[in-house]
């Protein structure tokens, strides 16, 4: 209640002007509570009803939703803007232009004194038609003009040879000058704009009417070249233009200029791209305005990508009354900008445009993080004492929930008639986030699997009941010949240290395993078929009353989680291919296996229930550290999907991956970090359960180490509470996801072998290491 109320408190404060705030004050006054600026604890007494009284307003409803939600509420307020829409922009219209430029140009020349003949220069003319700002003038003048319509002629420059042929075909018959040239921004180059115009368009008047520059990079420097002699700002090498320009060169002063700027740059940023023909950054609007102003030009309008300038004298005489305010703020609004903000915990967030405009790729927030996930904490947070234990646990849960990757684009059945591009986009967001985390940590949290929290709770309870509450004789009734694969595996009978060729005491954990029984087409076979397909061993009702319930719940959980795990694996596979095309061949086996395994029994995924309890290993050994309950190891298969309760006697830990992992020294606690799941005590029926996913050795090998299996272990936690504490024992459900035994793996080396062969070799290698170290 405390955290909830304090959250509400903040929201009320934030929304401020809303009726809820007034009601809140009224409530406080009536109940003689202190002013809301006193500590949030005071609100903890507020009745739930109070919050229901302020539900009417939709804005309020959203805020209220945010109060209860684990996720932040992020919305856009329509900002107040100084942008005016009553100037030239009111005449925006397109013949061939992109964002209304044709109409604006027509309007400007309508406001100028009529002239029979006008001349324009188009730099970066493309084919003369596509997104052209001069086509309407030179070919089809249909946007404005009437009796005042002038006869236009032009000089059109284009570097692309193919486009130039089309340009020539269109314009030469109209007697316009077409020049195929890669214009240079170097001052002394014979290919500078001024040099080209001097040489190849000798009849171009110095004060021609209209200049359009759109070359996707050095636009600023072409304007600088044209206006050169007038610029006196502090741009590097400013004087060299004038020095190097031959005395005989004619200078130009177009009456009206349209020039492209980089629309993603903030309005107060003066960004001038390097004076280098090969660099394509673009320059900011502010930079171009500064250059134009210093040369006696005035900004009169902008569109999304283009700025319009006219000579100051022309502005004063003919445009001033139509465009009284020529500030950038009045004439532009950034609509393509991306802003970045940071949360107190060090998370970097994006706001605004989240796509790479020219590369048509989404910007991935996760890739932009400075801090790895585990270090994102507020450095000045007060440490919480015992009384705040519940609050801190709850907040920890919220953090895990927020970090968890939402798998619903992969796990949810697509809705009929749904927008496939939206689904693809959300799938992309999902696999990028999942793979980023798996790549850095080897571990990830996932949610949105479609598995109900009720089923998770039931499965955990059933497993706990079998592993901890039932009599040992019940468990022993499930012993099989192949203990490591089916049925019950008692305490201290397995040794995971051996999986990585290490020595250590046996693992202190009880296990129960369920797996696939049949291979499709061989349903009648009763004997064991292979090591991975065997008869399961369930407790019988005559030995244990809860046996039928136990079996049905665990089977339901197993079936559901297997499907979800297949989808998680599909997402990982998509992510690997998207980032690393070379691995496409190796990934094919996963996508084919995915396809094959749907609704069949051919998969090899095994569900293991694990039970931990306090015991001898909970006391510090002679070396001063606690021996693990499950030794450090990596999992063998493709991925593991884990769910566990919050039993206090043990913790899952993973090896930190950002440290040097050369040494396999297991005792240094600093090299390990806890992997916690949200408290199951807080898991309500409508919650979306969170699972841990980690990379197995086979996936790691298939990806050539692109994803790495991370060492993990289970360590004892010293238990201060009494031994009878119900929450002491720990129960974990681990689904080890494998491929079909006959699946053909293609390793990045080009070697091929079946999944079963790979498994056998992998385990034999581990055992060899143990044998060799024993022999030494």
Residues near Fe ion (CB under 5 A) are 635
Question: Which of 440/732 has CB closer to ligand AKG?
Answer: 732
Cβ 343 to ligand AKG, closest distance in Å?
Answer: 30
CB of 281 to Fe ion, least distance (A): 48
Give the residue with the Cβ less far from ligand AKG, 209 or 635.
635
Cα dihedral sign for 219, 222, 226, 227? positive
Comparison of 214 and 635: residue with beta carbon closer to Fe ion:
635
Angle in degrees, CA 109, 113, 118, rounded to 5: 55
Q: Residue 642's binding partner, choosing from Fe ion, ligand AKG, none, with beta-carbon cut-off 5 to 8 A by kind?
A: ligand AKG
CB atoms within 10 A of CB 225: 26
* Partner touching 652 among ligand AKG, Fe ion, none, CB below 5 to 8 Å by kind: ligand AKG
Which residues from 698-757 bind ligand AKG, rule CB under 6 A?
712, 714, 732, 734
Structure tokens at 51: 């919050």
**Which residue sits closest to Fe ion, CB atoms considered?**
635
What gap in Å lies between CA 605 and CA 639, rounded to an integer? Answer: 10
Q: Closer CB to ligand AKG, residue 222 or residue 467?
A: 467
Whichever of 309 and 612 has its CB closer to ligand AKG, that residue is 612
Rounded CA Rg of the chain: 35
Residues 497-516 interacting with ligand AKG (rule: CB under 6 A): none
Query: Which of residues 310 and 733 has its CB atom nearest to ligand AKG in the complex?
Result: 733
Q: Which of 86, 85, 83, 105 is nearest to 94 (CA)?
A: 105
Site string for ligand AKG, 33-72 (x = CB under 6 A): ----------------------------------------
66 binds, among Fe ion, ligand AKG, none (CB under 5 to 8 A by kind): none
Q: Are 756 and 741 in contact (CB under 8 A)?
A: yes
CA separation (Å) from 59 to 50, 53, 65, 145, 338? Answer: 17, 14, 10, 48, 25
Q: How far is the CB of 709 from ligand AKG (least distance, A)?
A: 11
Q: How far is the CB of 508 from Fe ion (least distance, A)?
A: 15
211 contacts which partner out of ligand AKG, Fe ion, none, CB within 5 to 8 A by kind?
Answer: none
Q: Residue 187 corresponds to which tokens in the numbers above?
A: 């001052």
Whether the Cβ atoms of residue 231 and residue 277 lie closer than 8 Å to each other: no
Give me the residue label for tokens 């599909």: 570
- With CB atoms as reference, the residue minimizing the distance to ligand AKG is 732
Nearer to ligand AKG, 447 or 510 (CB): 510
Question: Binder to ligand AKG among 397, 635, 687, 697 (CB under 6 A)?
Answer: 635
Tokens of 126: 């493309």
**562 or 588: CB nearest ligand AKG:** 562
Those residues whose C-beta lies under 8 Å from the C-beta of residue 611, and which sit 6 or more positions away, are 463, 464, 467, 468, 509, 510, 511, 729, 730, 731
Cβ distance to Fe ion smaller for residue 494 or 635: 635
Closest separation in Å from C-beta 611 to ligand AKG: 9
For ligand AKG, the closer CB: 193 or 649: 649
Residues 567-626 that bind ligand AKG (CB under 6 A): 608, 610
Residue 559 CB, nearest approach to Fe ion (Å): 22
Neighbours of 477 (CB within 10 A): 19
Residue owning tokens 């009941």? 465
Is 693 strand, coil or helix? strand
Q: How far is the CB of 590 from ligand AKG (least distance, A)?
A: 21
Q: Which of residues 638-677 bind ligand AKG (CB under 6 A)?
A: 642, 644, 652
CA 539 to chain centre: 46
Q: Does 118 participate in binding ligand AKG (rule CB under 6 A)?
A: no
CB of 255 or CB of 717, closer to ligand AKG: 717
> What are the phi and psi torsion angles at 258 (to 5°)?
-120, 125
Q: According to the binding rule CB under 6 A, does residue 630 interact with ligand AKG?
A: yes
607 Cβ neighbours under 8 A, 6+ residues apart: 513, 514, 515, 554, 557, 558, 561, 733, 734, 735, 736
Q: Are 767 and 685 in contact (CB under 8 A)?
A: no
For Fe ion, which is the closer residue by CB, 286 or 700?
700
Q: Which two tokens stand for residue 148?
A: 């005042």
Question: How near is the Cβ of 499 to Fe ion at its closest, in Å?
Answer: 9
Alpha helices in 266-323 (DSSP H): 285-294, 312-314
Q: Quick one: which of 128, 121, 186 has its CA closest to 155?
A: 121
Binding at 122: pick from Fe ion, ligand AKG, none (beta carbon under 5-8 Å per type): none
- Only one residue has tokens 């359960």, namely 689
* Partner from Fe ion, ligand AKG, none contacting 630, C-beta within 5 to 8 A by type: ligand AKG
Distance CA 189, CA 195 (A): 8
* Dihedral, 29, 35, 40, 43 alpha carbons, nearest 10: 0
CA-CA-CA-CA torsion sign (96, 101, 106, 112): negative
Binding-site size, ligand AKG (CB under 6 A): 11
Min dist CB 697 to Fe ion, Å, is 11
d(Cα 715, Cα 118) in Å, to the nearest integer? 84
Q: How far is the CB of 693 from Fe ion (least distance, A)?
A: 12
Of 496, 519, 609, 512, residue with least CA distance to 561: 609
3-state secondary structure of 734: strand
Instruction: Tell me the torsion sign for CA atoms 648, 652, 658, 663.
Output: positive
Distance CA 60, CA 738 (A): 48
Beta carbons within 8 Å of 195's beta carbon, 6+ residues apart = 189, 249
Collapsed DSSP state (helix, strand, coil) of residue 209: coil
Residue count of the chain, please give it.
Answer: 776
CB of 650 to ligand AKG, least distance (A): 7
Binding status of residue 460 toward ligand AKG by CB under 6 A = no
Q: Shortest gap between Cβ of 656 and ligand AKG (angstroms)?
A: 16
Q: Do 395 and 3 meet the contact criterion of CB atoms below 8 Å apart?
A: yes
Among ligand AKG, Fe ion, none, partner that 208 touches (CB below 5 to 8 angstroms by kind): none
Minimum gap (Å) between residue 765 Cβ and ligand AKG: 18
Q: Which does 610 bind (CB under 5 to 8 A by kind): ligand AKG, Fe ion, none?
A: ligand AKG
Least separation in angstroms between CB 652 and ligand AKG: 4
Q: How far apart are CA 511 and CA 495, in angstroms?
A: 12
Pick one of ligand AKG, Fe ion, none as the site partner of residue 258 (Cβ within 5 to 8 A by kind).
none
Comparison of 132 and 653: residue with beta carbon closer to Fe ion: 653
- Would you say 224 or 644 has its CB closer to Fe ion? 644
Q: Which is nearer to Fe ion, 399 or 608 (CB)?
A: 608
The option from Fe ion, ligand AKG, none interacting with 551 (CB < 5 to 8 A, set by class) reads none
Decide which of ligand AKG, Fe ion, none touches 690; Cβ closer than 5 to 8 Å per partner kind: none
Q: Are 550 and 465 in contact (CB under 8 A)?
A: yes
Minimal distance in Å, beta carbon 636 to ligand AKG? 9
State the alpha helices, DSSP H only, in 404-419. 408-411
Q: Which partner from the list ligand AKG, Fe ion, none does 295 bind, CB cut-off 5 to 8 Å by kind?
A: none
User: Among ligand AKG, Fe ion, none, what does residue 714 contact (CB within 5–8 Å per kind)?
Assistant: ligand AKG
**Nearest to 622, CA basis, from 670, 667, 564, 569:** 667
Residue 644's binding partner among ligand AKG, Fe ion, none (Cβ under 5 to 8 angstroms by kind) is: ligand AKG
H-helix or E-strand spanning residue 310: strand 306-311
Residue 732: contacted member of Fe ion, ligand AKG, none (CB under 5 to 8 Å, by partner type): ligand AKG
| Residue whose CB is less far from Fe ion, 477 or 732 | 732
Give the footprint of ligand AKG on this chain (CB under 6 A).
608, 610, 630, 635, 642, 644, 652, 712, 714, 732, 734
């Amino acid at each position: 209640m405390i955290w909830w109320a304090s959250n509400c408190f903040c929201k009320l404060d934030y929304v401020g002007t809303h009726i809820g705030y007034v009601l809140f004050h009224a409530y406080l006054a009536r109940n003689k509570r202190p002013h809301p600026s006193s500590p949030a604890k005071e609100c903890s007494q507020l009745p739930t009803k109070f919050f229901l009284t302020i539900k009417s307003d939709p804005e309020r409803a959203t805020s209220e939703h945010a109060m209860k939600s684990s996720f932040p509420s992020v919305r856009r307020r329509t900002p107040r803007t100084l942008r005016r829409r009553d100037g030239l922009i009111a005449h925006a219209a397109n013949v061939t232009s992109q964002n209304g430029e044709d109409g604006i140009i027509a309007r400007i020349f309508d406001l100028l004194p009529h002239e029979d003949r006008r001349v324009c220069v188009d730099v970066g003319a493309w084919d003369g038609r596509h997104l052209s700002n001069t086509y309407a003038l030179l070919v089809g003048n249909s946007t404005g003009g009437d009796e005042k319509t002038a006869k236009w002629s032009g000089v059109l420059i284009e570097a692309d040879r193919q486009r130039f042929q089309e340009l020539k075909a269109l314009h030469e018959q109209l007697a316009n000058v077409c020049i195929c040239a890669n214009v240079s921004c170097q001052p002394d180059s014979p290919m500078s704009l001024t040099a080209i115009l001097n040489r190849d368009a000798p009849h171009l008047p110095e004060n021609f009417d209209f200049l359009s520059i759109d070359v996707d990079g050095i636009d600023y420097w072409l304007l600088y070249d044209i206006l050169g002699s007038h610029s006196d700002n502090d741009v590097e090498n400013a004087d060299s233009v004038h020095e190097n320009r031959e005395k005989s060169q004619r200078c130009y002063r177009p009456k009206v200029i349209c020039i492209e700027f980089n629309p993603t740059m903030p309005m107060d940023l003066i960004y001038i791209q390097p004076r280098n023909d090969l660099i394509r950054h673009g320059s900011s609007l502010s930079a171009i305005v500064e250059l134009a102003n210093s040369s006696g030009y005035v900004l009169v309008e902008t569109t999304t990508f283009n700025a319009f300038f006219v000579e100051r004298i022309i502005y004063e005489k003919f445009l001033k009354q139509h465009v009284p305010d020529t500030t950038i703020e009045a004439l532009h609004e950034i609509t393509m900008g991306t802003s970045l903000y940071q949360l107190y915990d060090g998370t970097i967030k994006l706001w605004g445009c989240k796509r790479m405009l020219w590369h048509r790729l989404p910007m991935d927030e996760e890739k932009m993080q400075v801090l790895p996930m585990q270090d994102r904490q507020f450095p000045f947070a007060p440490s919480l004492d015992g009384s705040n234990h519940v609050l801190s646990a709850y907040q920890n849960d919220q953090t895990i929930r927020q970090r968890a990757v939402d798998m619903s684009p992969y796990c949810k059945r697509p809705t009929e008639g749904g927008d496939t591009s939206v689904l693809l986009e959300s799938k992309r967001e999902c696999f990028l986030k999942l793979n980023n985390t798996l790549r850095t940590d080897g571990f990830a949290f996932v949610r949105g699997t479609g598995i109900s929290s009720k089923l998770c709770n039931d499965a955990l309870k059933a497993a706990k009941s079998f592993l901890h509450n039932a009599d040992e004789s019940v468990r022993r009734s499930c012993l099989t010949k192949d203990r490591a694969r089916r049925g019950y595996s008692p305490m201290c009978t397995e040794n995971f240290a051996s999986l990585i060729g290490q020595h250590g005491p046996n693992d202190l954990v009880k296990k129960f395993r369920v797996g696939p029984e049949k291979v499709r087409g061989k349903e009648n076979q009763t004997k064991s078929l292979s090591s991975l397909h065997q008869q399961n061993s369930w407790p019988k009702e005559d030995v244990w009353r809860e046996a039928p319930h136990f079996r049905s719940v665990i089977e339901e959980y197993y079936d559901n989680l297997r499907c979800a795990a297949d989808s998680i694996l599909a997402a990982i596979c998509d992510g690997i291919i998207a980032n690393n095309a070379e691995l496409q061949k190796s990934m094919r086996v996963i996508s084919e296996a995915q396809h094959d395994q749907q609704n069949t029994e051919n998969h090899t995924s095994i569900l293991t229930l694990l039970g931990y309890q306090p015991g001898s290993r909970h006391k510090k050994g002679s070396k001063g550290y606690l021996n693990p309950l499950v030794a450090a190891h990596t999992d063998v298969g493709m991925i593991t999907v884990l769910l566990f309760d919050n039993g206090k006697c043990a913790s899952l830990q993973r090896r930190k991956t950002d440290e040097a992992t050369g040494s396999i020294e297991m005792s240094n606690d600093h090299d390990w970090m806890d992997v916690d799941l949200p408290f199951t005590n807080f898991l309500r029926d409508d919650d979306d359960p969170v699972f841990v996913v980690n990379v197995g050795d086979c996936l790691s090998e298939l990806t050539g180490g692109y994803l790495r299996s991370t060492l993990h272990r289970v360590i004892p936690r010293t238990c201060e509470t009494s031994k009878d504490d119900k929450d002491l024992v720990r129960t974990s459900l681990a689904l080890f996801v494998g491929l079909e035994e006959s699946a053909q793996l293609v390793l990045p080396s080009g070697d091929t072998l079946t999944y079963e062969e790979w498994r056998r070799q992998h385990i034999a290698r581990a055992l060899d290491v143990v044998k060799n170290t024993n022999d030494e």
